[in-house]
A and B are shown apart, each in its own frame.
Chain A
Amino acid sequence: MSTSFTSMTVSELQAALADGATSADVTRTYLDRIEAEDGVLGAYLHVDPEAALERAAAVDASGKAGTGLAGIPVALKDVVVTEGIPTTSGSRILEGWKPPYDATVAARLAAAGTVLLGKTNMDEFAMGSSTENSAYGVTRNPWNPERIPGGSSGGSSAAVAGGLAPWAIGTDTGGSIRQPAALTGLVGHKPTYGSVSRYGLIAFSSSLDQAGPMARTVLDAALLHEAIGGHDPLDSTSIDVPVPVLAECARRGAEGDLSGLKVGVVRELGGQGHTDGYEQGVLDRFTEAVALLESMGAEVREVSCPAFDLALPAYYLIAPSEASSNLSRFDGVRYGLRVGDDGNHDLDEVMALTREQGFGAEVKRRIILGTYALSSGYYEAYYGQAQKVRTLISRDFSAAYADVDVLVSPTTPTVAFPLGSRVDDPVAMYAADLCTLPASLAGVPAISVPCGLSDGLPVGFQVMAPALADERCYQVAAALEAAQDAARGSRFLDQLPRRDAEPVGGAA
């Protein structure tokens, strides 16, 4: 058996399992690598090797390993509630909480026979773009440990890029799947709002949150998306449509024929007159990727979406407003941290002390922002106006999709920035989500796929499609991925500087 379960794609792992490898072997290889590497990367918050191996052995015993996703390990962002397994959402206030139930996403992955490796680090309550806001320490970028892995799903991105998980679930509120995927050279997809259940995702901003796949290839992402997607009666905002056929679209896309596809390049996202804050290397890789799409037959034109310029301020009113309410339940009464319950403090004081000590600075900043925006007298000027901007952004998308099939942009204005470089400048930090926010606000699907390196660090290419047309994202991303792999003669992640410690896997 090959030494490289940890560098295989999931499709390859499926083949290996079907070919006689055991889930226990695969799982052990990943656990060994986590053991060896995670001290540096800090991708995981919780790993239970015994439970993972037990689970893998059970899947092996069932004889199902190698069919579908059975036996494939997976990592979950710690925002996903898992029964009996610590779930913190990166916050001190939930330290030690063991949920009594499973999120729908977790339940579906378990039902598919996957093996949970662990829970990954994240910005506290998914608020951040660098995973530096976790209460449990930073996560490092496998491409360069002095750089951030993106956020808020930075634990998931670092784990998958670093070979500590074959794939992982992230969540995306304003870019938290796509941005870390872009900065670590992964494929990350934010599904159409309502197409993946939110039941059991610890809410940040209810009208924006979506779970989605983070993987090493477009096909893998499609497979993971198919496993978690589809209607869920436990989520009222879940759309009742059949699970989309995505892997098939990814395979078709990889054939490289994009003739007839109309691609719109969004001027407001890095185009003429809108390059402030964008690194030249990012713009160059983006332009090259667009040319590659054109060479495969796509018709490319520039489109203008003027309201996208307002996405950032609108997002930073809507998301904190909803968050201020969603986070009210963390009051120390029923679960998690409780501070000051010593007989000397009354109820209000205990609640205040708990929240004071349980929440980090960024979370407090957003709660205060949201509380203010919803206050009587300010509601219309802030929350109300932001909702109007949201409508305008949706209209820009609709108008654009009348002329083109997909919209494209860089996923992020810059490559991964150095750890600590933006922690004291929230506005600079917020700008990391500039390109991903419009699709979040409009609820449309968007994927990030690698499109090259700049300064030795990955650059992401974003493909946005109309609501419920997620398959277009996969098709275009797969075409780009296949063309680049062919030109390079290797997979994107093969360029990742290997660390020496790669253990020998597949002992069987």
Chain B
Amino acid sequence: MSTDTLVDYDQVLTRYEPVIGLETHVELGTASKMFCGCSTTFGAEPNTQTCPVCLGLPGSLPVANAMAIESTIRIGLALGCRIATWSRFARKNYFYPDIPKGFQTTQYDEPLCTAGHLDVEVDGETYRVEIERVHLEEDTGKNLHVGGATGRIHGADHSLIDYNRAGIPLVEIVTRPIPGAGAKAPEVAKAYVTELREILLALGVSEVRMEQGNLRCDVNTSLAPIGSLEWGTRTETKNVNSLRSVERAVRFEMRRQAALLDEGTRILQETRHFHEDTGTTSPGRSKEEATDYRYFPEPDLVPVAPDEEWVAKLAAMLPELPAARRSRLSDEWGITPTEMAWLVNAGAVELVSDTVAAGASPSDARKWWLGELARRANDAGTDLSDLAVTPAQVAELIGLISAGTINDQLARQALDGVLAGEGGPAAVVEARGLAVMGDSDELVAAVDAAIEANPDVAEKVRGGKVQAIGALVGAVMKTTRGKADAATVKRMLEERLTAS
């Protein structure tokens, strides 16, 4: 759909230096909304989770959710922010049907948290992202435009509004402009959001399900000619809602803006929309630049003055943060930062950690999650964590291998059973009869049968052609349908064919 001229990415970097910035909105996982007692459960029938307050009915008044304030402060602490001793909510006034009061209750010049930072790593290099502010606000309702081709308001027959989401606590995390990332700018943007997501998960403040809109990014991008002292005009790409899209949006904007700058066209400071399907951006309503939100302190709410002792207690009670945890686990597991980066990229750190905690060795746990299990997830087109096998079951599987009960090949069959919902690994091994044969009579018989059935090969082995024994091992494995342990079979064959 886009007819934008684009410059090759590598070419962009020969002439321009990008500066990026991110505004991230996170829906908190509190049980109730920001200013009323309504439930925040996702996916309920439209407008069933509403009340006079979140519908903005005349006369209703907000009461701030203490848990949301606590969560915001904890996010601020995790990002190394200064926590305000006095903070206020403000009204952002504008007309739109999805804001029931005609204003959004947010924070303006007195946010809860300011001046933090987050270090992210890309290809072994660390980039410091400065955090300007972390503040608390309420989400809007959701418009559904019915009829018309685009799903947008223009051309629609009518519009419906679902206020279930209106008033869900939303934390906005705003970075300062991030210069100096050069060619890595798109990846730094993605790494920042990835790391932020990990932190939010570790804090337990949000489910951070991007596909449900728990985490939404606005990505600012600008280009300046290399060597220029001034930054270029930025565009703000709204609602970039997956990690991959964050990277793509920055990359696309860089290529688009470079083409305009090359031909001497000024960049418009504007809001743009990102299109998941094409990976392109398009201009939003230019009308927005004229909006004066007439912010003023919300008179219906009292200022928030977090007690310093309480904040110190919250800081002391923060969980181990992802970066520190990764560093500790790398040491414990004896792996390099690069190997840890693979685990991070695969989304396997927690899975491996849990598997180790359930008794597996770190190397076995990594081998299974990055190998067989990653393959299964890839085949099924799901995330590792969505596979129908728990870390405890993986540890159990590894335990069965170590004990010699099954071999790797049988383990894969056992895994099939687990994924198919047949039970835990031990149960599947039992039910499917997958256990390895020991020096059992059955195996002795199979070995003897193989020698009998392949006299030529047996003769070759007896004659000193030891490598020919492989064919006999294969025959035994075949008759035992993989249940035998290959090494044991080989030993038994050697005993019979060389001792005589």
Contact = CB atoms under 8 A, between A and B. Distances in A.
A451 interface: no
B302 A329 contact: no
A13 B371 CA distance: 86
B101 interface: yes
B61 A235 contact: yes
- CB-CB nearest 4 A-B residue pairs: A328-B102, A206-B299, A374-B294, A207-B299
Contact of B59 (A200, A236, A324, A375): A200
Contacts, number: 102
Contacts of B302: 236-237
B294 A331 contact: no
Contact of A199 (B59, B102, B159, B294): B59
11 contacts: A80-B59, A100-B52, A206-B299, A206-B300, A236-B300, A236-B302, A328-B102, A333-B161, A334-B56, A374-B296, A376-B294
A99 B93 contact: no
A351 interface: yes
A236 B294 contact: no
A203 B300 CA distance: 10
Which of B61, B91, B97, B101 counts the most chain A CB atoms within 10 A?
Answer: B61
Contacts of B93: 324-325, 328, 374
A203 B91 contact: no
A334 B93 CA distance: 18
Contacts of A236: 61-64, 300-302
Size bracket of the B interface: 20 to 34
Interface string B52-95: 10011111111110000000000000000000000000010101
Interface string A228-259: 00000111110000000000000000000000
Given A328-B102, A374-B296, A334 B52 contact: no
Nearest to B302: A236
Contacts of B61: 198-199, 234-236
A347 B59 contact: no
Contact of A325 (B55, B62, B102, B159): B102
A177 interface: no
Interface in A314-333: 321-322, 324-325, 327-331, 333
A224 interface: no
A192 interface: no
Interface of B: 52, 55-64, 91, 93, 95, 97, 100-103, 153, 159, 161, 292, 294-296, 299-302
Nearest to B52: A101
Nearest to A321: B296
Which of B57, B161, B292 counts the most chain A CB atoms within 10 A?
Answer: B57
B59 A201 contact: yes
Contacts of B97: 331, 333, 347
Given A236-B301, A236-B302, A325 B103 contact: yes
Nearest to A377: B292
Nearest to A374: B294
Contact of A347 (B56, B57, B153, B300): B153
A89 B55 contact: no
A234 B56 contact: no
A234 B63 contact: yes
B59 A334 contact: no
Given A321-B296, A331-B97, A202 B103 contact: no
A330 B302 CA distance: 24
Given A236-B61, A236-B300, A347-B97, A329 B56 contact: yes
Size bracket of the A interface: 35 or more
A325 B91 contact: yes
Contacts of A401: none
Dominant secondary structure at the B interface: loop
A400 interface: no
Contacts of A198: 61
B158 to A, nearest CB: 9
A233 B65 CA distance: 12
A430 interface: no
A4 to B, nearest CB: 36
Contacts of B300: 203, 206, 236-237
A97 B52 CA distance: 13
Contacts of B100: 329, 334
A90 to B, nearest CB: 12
B70 to A, nearest CB: 17
B242 to A, nearest CB: 30
Contacts of A328: 93, 95, 101-103
Given A233-B63, A235-B63, 13 more contacts: A101-B60, A199-B60, A200-B60, A205-B299, A206-B299, A234-B63, A237-B300, A322-B299, A324-B294, A325-B91, A327-B102, A335-B58, A376-B294
A87 interface: yes
A379 interface: yes
B152 to A, nearest CB: 12
Contacts of B153: 347
A293 interface: no
Given A81-B59, A99-B59, A234-B63, A375 B294 contact: yes
Interface in A188-220: 198-203, 205-207
Given A233-B63, A236-B61, A329-B102, A334 B294 contact: no
Contacts of B102: 325, 327-331
Interface string A339-367: 00000000110010000000000000000
A94 B57 CA distance: 11
Contacts of B296: 321-322, 325, 374, 379, 383
Contact of A202 (B58, B292, B301): B58
B57 A101 contact: yes
Contacts of A101: 52, 57, 60
A383 B295 CA distance: 11
A371 interface: yes
A331 B99 CA distance: 11
A103 interface: yes
A233 B36 CA distance: 11
B95 A331 contact: yes
Contacts of B55: 334
A313 B62 CA distance: 29
Contacts of A89: 58
A479 B57 CA distance: 42
A329 B294 contact: no
A327 B159 CA distance: 23
A103 B57 CA distance: 12
Contacts of A348: 95
A122 B91 CA distance: 27
B300 to A, nearest CB: 5
A207 B301 CA distance: 10
A237 B62 CA distance: 10
Contacts of A322: 296, 299
A492 to B, nearest CB: 33
Which of A233, A335, A347, A351 counts the most chain B CB atoms within 10 A?
Answer: A347
B393 to A, nearest CB: 48
B58 A99 contact: yes
Nearest to B92: A325
B36 to A, nearest CB: 9
Contacts of A321: 296
Given A206-B299, A328-B101, A87 B58 contact: yes
A87 B58 CA distance: 10
Contacts of B91: 325
A94 B95 contact: no
Given A351-B95, A383-B296, A329 B58 contact: yes
B299 A376 contact: no
A54 B59 CA distance: 27
A334 B103 CA distance: 15
Interface string A165-202: 00000000000000000000000000000000011111
B224 to A, nearest CB: 28
Which of B59, B100, B101 counts the most chain A CB atoms within 10 A?
Answer: B59
Interface in A65-108: 80-81, 87, 89, 94, 97, 99-101, 103
B103 A203 contact: no
